Amino acid sequence: MWQKHLKVLAFVVGKLQSNNIRYQLSGGIAGNIHGSSWPPHDIDLEVGVADFACVAELFADVLKVPPHHLVDDEFDLLLMTLTIDEIEVDINQVEDAFAITKAGEHVPLSTDLRKAERHQFEGLDVMVQALEDLLAYKRLLGREADVVDLCSLYHQAPKFETRREA
């Protein structure tokens, strides 16, 4: 199953990169890239408002759910969903995105795509949400199992400078 995710990831990232669209992988895939062993489900990534409509056009042929304002138990944000080879790819806009805490509080996610880190993963060159930012996000959502896993990765991670895009 993981090979199917890698194929979809390569397709999506390749299309974004060839169109000079700034993005970052987030969610479970970002955790995997940082060393987590979570089983892959979908692919989550984030883009800026300036590119959101363009991304919808680039992937119009695989757009399962068009851009819409999603409000659920955890999020209040703009989102679209692609389906490629039976794998869902959720793409959200980073501006005006909020997490909803277990207490019902709307907290701005304050994602800065300039903080994304470049990683080599399974032969792919990808931009990934920084581990410390992923950990803060999972804490905010109250996903304790994810937080425990990410904390172990964070404390084991070598302390070196990761390349970030300018």
Convert the pLDDT of each residue in 111-139 to its tens digit: 999 999 999 999 999 999 998 888 777 77
Query: Does residue 164 lie in a domain region?
Result: no
Percent of the chain with pLDDT over 70: 84
- Residue 107 inside a domain? The answer is yes
Give CA 35 to chain center in angstroms.
15
Q: How many helices (H) and strands (E) does the chain have?
A: 5, 9
Whole-number average pLDDT of the chain: 87
Least confident of 15-19, 87-91, 108-112, 125-129: 108-112
Residue 12, H or E segment? helix 2-18
- Domain assignment of residue 163, yes or no: no
CATH number at residue 31: 3.30.460.40
* Phi, psi torsion values for 133, nearest 5 degrees: -70, -40
Q: Per the domain annotation, does 38 fall within a domain?
A: yes
Q: For 110, list phi and psi in degrees, rounded to 5.
A: 50, 45
State the pTM of this model. Answer: 0.85
Answer with the residue of higher pLDDT: 42 or 39: 42
Helix, strand or coil, per DSSP, at residue 137: helix
CB 44 within 8 A of CB 90: yes
What per-residue confidence (pLDDT) applies to 146? 54
- 73 contacts 113 by C-beta, under 8 angstroms: no
Q: Which of 164, 165, 166, 6 is nearest to 85 (CA)?
A: 6
Res. 102 pLDDT band, cuts 50 70 90: confident
For residue range 40-83, list pLDDT tens digits in order.
Answer: 889 999 999 999 999 999 999 999 999 999 999 889 999 999 99
Residue % of the chain over a pLDDT of 90: 61
Q: Which residue has the higher pLDDT, 93 or 133?
A: 93
CA distance 20 to 18: 6
Domain count, the chain: 1
Within-domain flag for 165: no
- In angstroms, the CA 18 to CA 133 distance is 26
Note down the domain range covering 107. 2-156
